[in-house]
């Protein structure tokens, strides 16, 4: 199984049809194909834990880089080990299957030696807060360093926005694809495996940092349809397609092969940087800003005005993980007075926590009033106008319980805010006339989309497009079924059209 982290399935299909991705063109003709459905509203931080545990974010508990600590108004950075549930490859290993697992995003180190090898964080998009290279067996780390060297890319966001830097980032991403492909090729050829799983993160880095170059290339192509201008982001996909073709050829026709493009990309958009200010304005007089908020706004203003762009970009990961923590520390007294407040989440969906009586330390919303407060927030937020476009800023407000079986004491948001449009929302006006303004930091030009895609080939499998999507939680039980290993207690279900035809000895 090959993971292409945050590779956009629509771009893959389009570029395959245009001849840029011959491996995917073959898969489009011969593979079982399906749309992949990711956890609603939480998808960025929850996708990979949902993949490798096979259970919902309400059960495994991971949805963001920073999360609310249940029973408090503060947040903390999430670690790789802060996931409840068992990685399916550990279950395979315990059942005697020989496994090789390389660079699954957000995967924790195995709690026990695996029956085979495991590599965590050799070359991922973003190192976890407790990250760094980890291998099983431990001696593998030295062998990797000797044979392949260190990660050629490092931190994707460590860039100041100069054209030559984007060119160098493109070259580093292409180089890492080549090195990772060689690593996986060697693994495939040097032992007899039941299951090999390898992740490529370069499509993720390219989506965030090279999207504007892709958009510029698209504009040029639209003006001159006979000319195909250079597209650095497409170049990364072309290299990934070439590496994928080599690995599928080595695996051979008698092996079940799964290729997962986890979730997509589009332009940077959304309004999460101002969502808490909008909520405070909606909440009314009881949420008048105190000295803590004025302190926070002062710190934010100083950072915006005085920090060099290079520092802002270099520290984006640290800033993301610490800012919500600082904000929560400063504003916890204010949050105790409010009926609702924003909690960290991905940039596409705003996330709201209700200050619920009996759950939060100073609850103000009674359980019997939740529906009324939800309706109020839906009405007020859908009335917020994006002053840069004159259009509504919010599409809808959704209860988390509509999508998740909530667990007692979980730290999930209570509501999601689905933003409108395809651009950053930085200046809005509420129905009460309050103007809320932030800024677009321009650290990344591309951001995520919800759904992904999967292509599956193997003995007995006939090329077809499945009508129903496959949940990201379905891969664990599907792989377990292919290898005759029961994985009970999962939320996902094995994909019958894949498992019912043939149970091979390898996958």
Strand 391-392 relative to strand 385-386, pairing: antiparallel
Residue-range definition of the domain harbouring residue 392: 275-437
402 is a domain residue = yes
The alpha carbon dihedral of 357, 360, 365, 368 has a sign of: negative
Cβ–Cβ under 8 Å, residues 502 and 459: yes
Residues 167, 202 share a domain: yes
Residues 175, 27 share a domain: yes
Residues with Cβ within 8 Å of residue 445, at least 6 apart in sequence: 208, 209, 210, 211, 212, 215, 267, 268
pLDDT in tens, 235-287: 999 999 999 999 999 999 999 999 999 999 999 888 888 999 999 999 975 44
3-state SS class at 447: strand
d(CA 451, CA 8): 9
Looking at the structure of the chain, the number of domains it has is: 2
Residues 150, 259 share a domain: yes
The alpha carbon dihedral of 186, 187, 193, 194 has a sign of: negative
Q: Across the chain, what does the average pLDDT equal?
A: 90
Q: How confident is the model at residue 82 (pLDDT cuts 50, 70, 90)?
A: very high
What is the value of pTM for the model shown? 0.91
Q: Which of 415, 437, 459 is the last residue of a domain?
A: 437
Q: Which of 437, 458, 480 is the last residue of a domain?
A: 437
Residues 188, 92 share a domain: yes
Q: Is a pLDDT exceeding 80 seen at residue 442?
A: no
pLDDT in tens, 294-332: 666 666 666 666 666 555 555 555 555 566 666 666 777
pLDDT in tens, 378-415: 999 999 999 999 999 999 999 999 999 998 888 899 99
Residues 303, 256 share a domain: no
The total of other beta-carbon atoms located within 10 Å of residue 113's CB is 12
506 is a domain residue = no
162 is a domain residue = yes
Q: Tokens in use for 445?
A: 């030009």
296 is a domain residue = yes
pLDDT at 287: 47
7 is a domain residue = yes
Residues 247, 185 share a domain: yes
Q: How confident is the model at residue 506 (pLDDT cuts 50, 70, 90)?
A: very low
User: Would you give the DSSP letter of residue 368?
Assistant: G
Q: Is a pLDDT exceeding 50 seen at residue 465?
A: yes
Residue 127 vs residue 445, higher pLDDT: 445
505 is a domain residue = no
Residues 300, 228 share a domain: no
Residue 310 vs residue 130, higher pLDDT: 130
Residues 145, 105 share a domain: yes
3-state SS class at 336: helix
Residues 59, 101 share a domain: yes
Helix, strand and coil in the chain, % to nearest 5: 40, 15, 40
> CATH no. for residue 253?
3.40.720.10
d(CA 469, CA 106): 23
3-state SS class at 449: coil
pLDDT at 303: 63
- For residue 99, what are the β-bridge partners? 116, 195
504 is a domain residue = no
Residues 337, 208 share a domain: no
382 is a domain residue = yes
Instruction: Of 89-93, 130-134, 135-139, give the lowest mean pLDDT range.
Output: 130-134
Residues 408, 494 share a domain: no
> What is the distance between the terminal CA atoms of the chain, rounded to a whole angstrom?
7
d(CA 224, CA 360): 58
pLDDT at 158: 75
Residues 290, 248 share a domain: no
d(CA 356, CA 339): 8
Q: Find the radius of gyration of the CA atoms of the chain.
A: 23
Q: Which of 410, 437, 464 is the last residue of a domain?
A: 437
User: Would you give the DSSP letter of residue 285?
Assistant: G
């Amino acid at each position: 199984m090959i993971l292409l982290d945050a590779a956009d399935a629509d771009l893959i299909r389009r570029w395959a049809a245009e001849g840029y991705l011959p491996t995917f063109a073959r898969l489009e003709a011969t593979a079982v194909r399906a749309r992949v459905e990711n956890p609603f509203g939480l998808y960025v931080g929850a996708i990979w834990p949902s993949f490798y545990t096979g259970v919902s974010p309400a059960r495994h508990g991971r949805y963001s880089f920073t999360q609310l600590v249940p029973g408090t108004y503060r947040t903390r950075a999430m670690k790789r080990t802060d996931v409840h549930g068992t990685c399916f490859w550990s279950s395979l290993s315990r059942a005697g299957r020989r496994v090789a697992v390389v660079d699954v995003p957000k995967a924790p180190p195995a709690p026990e030696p695996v029956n085979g090898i495991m590599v965590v964080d050799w070359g991922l998009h973003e190192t976890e807060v407790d990250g760094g290279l980890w291998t099983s067996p431990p001696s593998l780390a030295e062998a990797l360093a000797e044979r392949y060297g260190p990660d050629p890319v490092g931190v994707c966001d460590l860039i100041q926005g100069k054209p030559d830097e984007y060119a160098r980032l493109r070259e580093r991403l292409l180089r890492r694809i080549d090195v990772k492909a060689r690593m996986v090729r060697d693994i495939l050829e040097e032992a007899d495996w039941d299951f090999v799983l390898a992740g490529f993160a370069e499509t993720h880095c390219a989506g965030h940092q090279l999207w504007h170059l892709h958009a510029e290339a698209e504009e040029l192509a639209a003006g001159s349809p006979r000319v195909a201008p250079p597209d650095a982001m497409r170049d990364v996909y072309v290299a990934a397609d070439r590496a994928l073709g080599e690995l599928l050829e080595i695996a051979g026709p008698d092996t079940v092969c799964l290729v997962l493009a986890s979730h997509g990309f589009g332009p940077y958009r959304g309004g999460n940087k101002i969502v808490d200010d909008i909520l405070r304005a909606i909440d009314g007089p009881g949420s008048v800003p105190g000295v803590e908020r004025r302190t926070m706004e002062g710190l934010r203003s100083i950072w915006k005005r005085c920090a060099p762009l290079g520092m802002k970009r270099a520290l984006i990961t640290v800033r993301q993980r610490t800012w919500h923590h600082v904000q929560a520390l400063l504003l916890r007294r204010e949050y105790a007075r409010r009926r609702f407040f924003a909690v960290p989440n991905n940039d596409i969906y705003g996330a709201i926590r209700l200050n619920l009586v009996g759950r939060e330390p100073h609850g103000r919303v009674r359980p019997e009033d939740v529906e009324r407060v939800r309706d109020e927030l839906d009405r007020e937020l859908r009335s917020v106008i994006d002053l840069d476009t004159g259009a509504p800023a919010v599409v809808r407000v959704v209860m988390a319980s509509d999508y998740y079986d909530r667990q007692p004491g979980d730290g999930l948001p209570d509501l999601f805010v689905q933003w409108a449009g395809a651009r950053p929302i930085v200046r809005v006006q509420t129905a009460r006339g309050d103007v809320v303004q932030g800024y677009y930091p321009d650290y990344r030009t591309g951001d995520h989309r919800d759904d992904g895609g999967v292509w599956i080939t193997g003995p007995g499998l006939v090329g077809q497009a499945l009508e129903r999507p496959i949940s990201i939680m379905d891969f664990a039980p599907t792989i377990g079924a292919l290898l005759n290993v029961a994985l009970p207690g999962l939320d996902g279900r094995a994909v019958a059209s894949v498992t019912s035809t043939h149970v091979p000895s390898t996958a």
